[in-house]
């Protein structure tokens, strides 16, 4: 099946630890995005990448890092510098020439 | 600055009633795209509809319809004959050519009671 796969679905980490969220797509989409959602709020853009080996900061990039070494993969690392990391994280992708972004199922991160 | 406002926080209806969700946006650009996404309790964001700024024709797709009015910067969405499965959070979003980053409204929670 074609789609966007995020893993793990649920993740618990201790404060001060870095954690990496996986995002893989087999849709052959060029662009990929990471959004964060806090309870009762809309989504905010963390990072995005329009092409392999290139990525740009979004509105709330502080405390996060990404890489785009392969077209199909766009992992997000939540570092210990992120002050409030507990949230729902959504990965998304967009085809070349397309103007619609499609989302994965999301990952819940809880930092205790 | 670009901004999307969904003034309705929650809407509760009985099954088979129509539901209209309001969305107002702000932009000075002439080319942009407007979207509605649905987020069911499972969390995944599901794309519903997209409208281009240069196409104000309103359409109906099944039980969904939308009313795009550039004069009032509004992009309202209607679910006709609502069903319990329509219960979800609905987001309006705005994007622009080149990077197509989405700017979201705060969302409207729709509850459809049987």
- Three-class secondary structure of residue B72 per DSSP: helix
* B99 to A99: CB separation less than 8 angstroms, yes or no: no
Residue A78 near residue A19 (C-beta atoms within 8 A)? yes
Give the N- to C-terminal CA distance of chain A in Å, as an integer.
35
Strand locations in A1-112, DSSP E?
4-7, 10-13, 19-25, 31-37, 43-51, 54-57, 64-66, 76-78, 87-94, 102-103, 107-111
Per-residue tens of pLDDT for chain A, all 112 residues: 669 999 999 999 998 899 999 999 999 999 999 999 998 778 999 999 999 999 999 999 999 999 999 999 999 999 988 889 999 999 999 999 899 999 999 999 999 8
Q: How many angstroms from the chain centroid is the CA of residue A18?
A: 14
Q: Which residues of B touch A58 (CB under 8 A)?
A: 101
Q: Count CB atoms within 10 A of the CB of residue A73.
A: 14
Residue-wise pLDDT for A55-68, tens only, equals 999 999 999 999 99
Residues in chain A: 112
Task: Report B:23-82 residues touching A (Cβ under 8 A).
Answer: 33, 35, 37, 42-47, 50, 52
């Amino acid at each position: 099946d074609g789609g966007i796969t995020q893993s793990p679905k649920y993740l618990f980490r201790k404060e001060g630890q870095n954690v990496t969220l996986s995002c893989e797509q087999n849709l052959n989409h060029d662009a990929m995005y990471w959004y964060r959602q806090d309870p009762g709020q809309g989504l905010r853009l963390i990072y995005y990448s329009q092409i392999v080996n290139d990525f740009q900061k979004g509105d709330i990039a502080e405390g996060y890092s990404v890489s785009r070494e392969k077209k199909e993969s766009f992992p997000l690392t939540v570092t210990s510098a992120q002050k409030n990391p507990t949230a729902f994280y959504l990965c998304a992708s967009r085809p070349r020439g397309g103007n619609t972004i499609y989302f994965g199922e999301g990952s819940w991160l809880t930092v205790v | 600055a670009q901004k999307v406002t969904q003034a309705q926080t929650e809407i509760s209806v009985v099954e088979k009633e129509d539901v209209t969700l309001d969305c107002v946006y702000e932009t000075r650009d002439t080319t942009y795209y407007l979207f509605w996404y649905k987020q069911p309790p499972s969390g995944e964001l599901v794309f519903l509809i997209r409208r281009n700024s240069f196409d104000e024709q309103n359409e109906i797709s099944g039980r969904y319809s939308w009313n795009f009015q550039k004069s009032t910067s509004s992009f309202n969405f209607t679910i006709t004959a609502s069903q319990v499965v329509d219960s979800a959070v609905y987001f309006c979003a705005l994007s622009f050519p080149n990077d197509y980053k989405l700017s979201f409204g705060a969302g409207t929670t729709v509850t459809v009671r049987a």
